[in-house]
A and B are shown apart, each in its own frame.
Chain A
Amino acid sequence: MKSQDPLSAGPAGQWSIQKLPVGLTIACARESSGLLDIPLPAFEGKGLVLTYVNYKGHLNILSASGSEQQASPALGLLTVSNRPFRFRADAPIQFSAVALLIPDEWISLFLTGNLHFKKIEQVLAGEHNIITCRMGRRQLSLFASLPTGSSDGEANLLETQNNALSLLEYFLCNRHRSLLGAGTSSGIDNEDDLSLIREVESYISEYYCSDTFTVDAILKKTYTSYHRLNFLFKSIHGMTISEYIRNKRIERSKEMIADNEKSISQIAYEIGYSSISNYILAFKKIYRITPGKYKKQIDGRMPA
């Protein structure tokens, strides 16, 4: 294997390692051989390691504890750097991988205080010490555009960095989505579905107060069917999409009542209900109390 970079020689072996200006370290490998047995690259420093692999053939992942698992193509894996694992193949294989070291200092700079990241850390600390996610289209095309191994090392460093950052972001986002709600058993382990949900959620949060807002508009915007969207929503949030919207509206109205600036009818109108009785019913269904009584409760608790 040729190595252009002095860093890529030495303990790293088949990996060509590059330091990115932003503080991450990236290592790429491409291998096409009969037998394969490569460990993760030896990075300097501690942190998390995000690895992406894609291959044609059969590949096993051998973890430190000795257990062997079959991998699936286009896989992303997140581990702690001191818990290494190896990739092994006994049959001819075409293999390419990218490993990204996220140093501890970097994490403390950008990700501490992020509640979503804490959940991911908790999972990592537990016995399931490898988090996986299959790559979607966006990740695959990013993965393909990263310089793999000895090909041409003269790729733009800034571009590599941007691709690496995007990969990291997509991975965390998708994992975050699937850790929410119904948990990993929901069977949605697919980047594309998750990003669809994300888009719908952000659309809802932007327009849910408007009285012309309908689920149909979402369907038109995202080109999905009602059933599919409902299925996805149920498996992630555990409720249908209309329930989700209603909850959001009622939650907002609760905040507005607590602000104590507007009358109930005004609030109902502002969060997009055309009739007050509908609103009161919906509120009662969730909090088991009418908004008026709720308002009195609050007023009673802290007299203005």
Chain B
Amino acid sequence: MSYVSLENAEPFLKCMEVLAEDKSCIVTDSVLYFSGKTGKGFITVAGVAAGIEVLAVNASMLTEDIAIEFLPSVDASSYLLTFDDIELPIPADHELSLPHVLLAIDRSPSSVSITDAGQGKRIVYPKEKMIRALVVRVQKTSLGRLIQDFDAGTIQSILQSTDGAATLSWPITFKYRLLLNDFMNEIVQHPFRELFTLRNVSILVEYLLQQFFVMDKLSREGNSLSIQDTHSLSKVEQHLCLHYKTEFPGVEKLSRISAMSPTSLKTKFKKYYGETLFGYYQKNKLEHARKLLDNKVPVKVVATEIGYSNPSHFTLAFKKEYGFSPWHYLNPH
């Protein structure tokens, strides 16, 4: 395992230097590429002015776990936001009967979280997985500036009230996944890296706050999610996200994946993701379609690409979701 520890005030760049030495990789232009022997992908750092720092990890097939530890410190006045999209191996159908012993992790690996940096945090990126992760360190004052109209104080008070854990963490949703995906595709090449990072952080914070308020409301109503449920639901969510190209798997199969009854799966999913199972699947699918349309892919090709056998079905679904047809989207002028 490669291990890096960071003091409160130390820049993220140091973390890269340590890793580079450890793995004997070269850092060029603040991007670290894994050589084929230690894994694939890259790690990069983007320091944005105004107290925001971002560490992005886009890697797969790492030969060793990477652990990054942010040491606790009393005078830290920043938050650590993490956004992890780590691909879980989905058990094949015949393995579903296995008890959940192996999966009894305290949190699902794909999650978003917010932590007071004063408490410290340890992040482990597992080996041999697809990893897309962002760590954002943002000064409390800067966060206040980013989200002026939200009450930043609420976050503080809720963070303190959660029995000393000082971390709030929620399962990831497809919005984050799509954004992380875009981020990783563009960050290295982007001509305006600071601006690009700032925009993405701002959007991520928006998502985070939306989710934050939903979850906070739910827990105040006494509906907070148990760890087991979180894990099961996020497995379903991941399944829906990854298999957007194939047909909707059906509630029956999803309930087997989650080891929940169809009814409770449906109600719980709706409660925590704000969408029905099919609605969630469809939204994700159409966002992918929209990405393709952005690149001038013909409508027919998009339809087959995301798994529609008939382009007009796709057009109908697209129109229902966005209010305009794909053709109209392609020819806006």
Contacts and interface: CB of A to CB of B under 8 A. Distances in A.
Interface of A: 21-23, 73-74, 109-111, 114, 116-117, 135, 137-138, 140-141, 156-159, 161-162, 165-166, 168-169, 172-173, 176-177, 192-193, 195-196, 198-199, 201-202, 205-206, 222-224
B194 A114 contact: yes
A162 B297 contact: no
B194 A110 contact: yes
Given A205-B188, A205-B189, A199 B295 contact: yes
A144 to B, nearest CB: 9
B186 A198 contact: yes
B186 A202 contact: yes
B242 interface: no
A74 B295 contact: no
Nearest to A222: B295
A176 B192 contact: yes
A110 B48 contact: yes
B198 interface: yes
A223 B295 contact: yes
B206 A159 contact: yes
A172 B294 contact: no
Contacts of A138: 294
A222 to B, nearest CB: 6
A74 B294 CA distance: 16
Contact of B293 (A23, A137, A206): A137
Contacts of B203: 162
Contact of A173 (B191, B294, B298): B191
Contacts of A173: 190-192
Interface in B133-182: 145-150
B206 A195 contact: no
A91 B204 CA distance: 44
Contacts of B146: 21-22, 158
Given A22-B146, A110-B198, 6 more contacts: A73-B333, A109-B49, A137-B294, A169-B192, A223-B296, A223-B301
A193 B296 CA distance: 8
A138 B182 CA distance: 14
Given A195-B294, A202-B188, A111 B209 contact: no
A166 B294 contact: no
A139 B146 CA distance: 22
3 closest residue pairs by CB, A with B: A21-B148, A165-B199, A202-B189
B3 interface: no
Contacts of B189: 198, 201-202, 205
Contacts of A196: 295-296
A172 B195 contact: yes
A137 B186 contact: no
Given A114-B194, A173-B191, A205-B189, A109 B199 contact: no
A165 B196 CA distance: 8
A26 B264 CA distance: 46
A192 B295 contact: yes
Nearest to A191: B294
A209 to B, nearest CB: 9
A22 B194 CA distance: 13
A116 B296 CA distance: 26
A114 B279 CA distance: 42
A109 B185 CA distance: 25
B150 A158 contact: yes
B223 to A, nearest CB: 25
9 contacts: A22-B198, A110-B49, A137-B293, A158-B209, A162-B199, A165-B199, A172-B195, A177-B191, A223-B298
